[in-house]
Chains A and B, each alone.
Chain A
Amino acid sequence: MESKILNHKNIYYPPGGILIWIIIFLELITFGIALIVMVFYGQKELEIFHTSRLQLNTTIGTINTLFLITSGYFMARSVSYLRKGQKEKSSLFLKLTMLGGLFFLGLKTIEYYFKIEAGLTVGHNTFFTFYWMLTLFHVIHVIVGLVILTSVLVGLRKNPSKVAIEDVEASAAFWHMCDLIWLLLFPVIYLLF
């Protein structure tokens, strides 16, 4: 495994690298502004947003939150084991991380299926326009995260000596970013109105 000692207290070397943190901030600001606009419209159409929110399945949203948080925990442990040179355990926890992501996508698919069946599509009302745009955009991030983690897993299997811990940390930071975005989406979309 390739690694060099980085001082994370240096402003240019946050854990995961400066580039991934610039992306994280841009993503958080984008989703943050979209959610603030959603709350703004929510106050204008209070009744519609309330009745629409009640049509969402909070249980599925909650279970998905638990999946993503647990998946993030597995990712943190995978990075921790890799730093200690325990590649087998790191790979195992990486697989568990990806499993959490796949469960999230599975439940989201079920949720989307029932919404489409009920006719609650993107043009149904303002609430569902925001719901579809924000959650689908997040789902795309989760899929991209899974692709990145798959490449890390393949690297760990085929040529572990070439895997740089900085790259794994950056991949982990991207995965945790999906958690952070969901932690903003979940309360506003599923609970607030």
Chain B
Amino acid sequence: MRGITITLASLLILTLISVVFANYAHGYMVFGILILAALKFIGISFCFMELKKAHSFWKVGLLLFLVLFMISVLFLAK
């Protein structure tokens, strides 16, 4: 129970950081926003959805989707 509460606090802080980052940082803005979004995605899937308890197939599958999505967006938005 303590683990998911810590995850919640981290997710809320990461959300606020991503908004501040989008408004003030320019150099690596796209990269920074996507990394923060990926961290939140992992937090929800592995902690709230308990994917950490699942077979590696599901963990690798979700991470593969995330990496492909992030690389595609980064490649197109550069």
Contacts and interface: CB of A to CB of B under 8 A. Distances in A.
Contacts of A16: 49
A91 B22 CA distance: 38
Interface residues on A, range: 35 or more
B37 A186 contact: yes
B: interface residue count bin: 35 or more
A10 interface: yes
Contacts of A186: 37
B44 A176 contact: yes
A77 B1 CA distance: 7
A28 interface: yes
A90 to B, nearest CB: 13
Interface in B5-59: 5, 7-8, 11-12, 15-16, 18-19, 22-23, 30, 33-34, 36-37, 40-41, 44-45, 47-51, 53-55, 57-58
Interface of A: 8-11, 14-16, 21, 25, 28-29, 32, 35-36, 39-40, 42-43, 58, 62, 65-66, 69-70, 72-73, 75-77, 80, 172-173, 176, 179-180, 183-184, 186-188, 190-192
